[in-house]
Amino acid sequence: MRGFKAFLLRGNVVDLAVGVVIGVAFGAVVTAFVKDLVTPLVAALFGKPDFGALTFTINNSKFLYGEFINAVVAFVVVAAVIYFFVVVPFTALIARSHKEPPADPTTKKCPECLSEIPIDAKRCAFCTSLQPV
């Protein structure tokens, strides 16, 4: 029993459990969004496409290929919603937050004549003044 308790309390198992619960909750949100907002919008624009009644029969076996088409359409709609409403904004947010630090300067201004000179210069190439270190 002690080994089982140690297994359950390991970080990986707890992290996985939290991930599954969050994933199920997120799936419910996406499904509700598609069912309650996207599907009625598609139905309003294109009419209500329902392929569930499409079938064919071979040797008294009924093939419900319309249900398969409905499942494929639902999958494509859910995938599109996740991509355009989750992945694209999240990627843009991450790209915006990861700014590259500015490169180290390679030149400096001469304090006497204000010309641009190499950062390691000991004398200014324009006014020949000594440069502070």
Residues 66 and 110 in one domain: no
Q: Rounded distance, CA 133 to CA 121, Å?
A: 9
Claim to verify: residue 55 and residue 119 sit in the same structural domain: no
Distance CA 83, CA 76 (A): 10
Residues 58, 118, single domain; the answer is no
First to last CA, the chain: 69
Q: Which residue range forms the structural domain that includes residue 110?
A: 104-133
Q: Is the pTM value of this prediction over 0.75?
A: no
* Same structural domain, 89 and 126: no
Helix (H, G, I), strand (E, B) or coil at 58: strand
Q: In a structure prediction context, what are the per-residue pLDDT tens digits for the chain, which is 133 residues long? A: 888 877 777 767 777 887 899 889 988 888 788 778 877 777 777 776 667 778 899 999 999 888 888 788 788 888 888 889 888 998 998 888 887 778 888 999 999 999 999 999 999 999 999 988 7
Q: Are residues 50 and 9 in the same domain?
A: yes
Do 76 and 131 fall within a single domain? no
Based on the fold, state whether residues 92 and 111 are members of the same structural domain: no
Do 93 and 124 belong together in one domain? no
Per the structure, the count of domains in the chain is 2
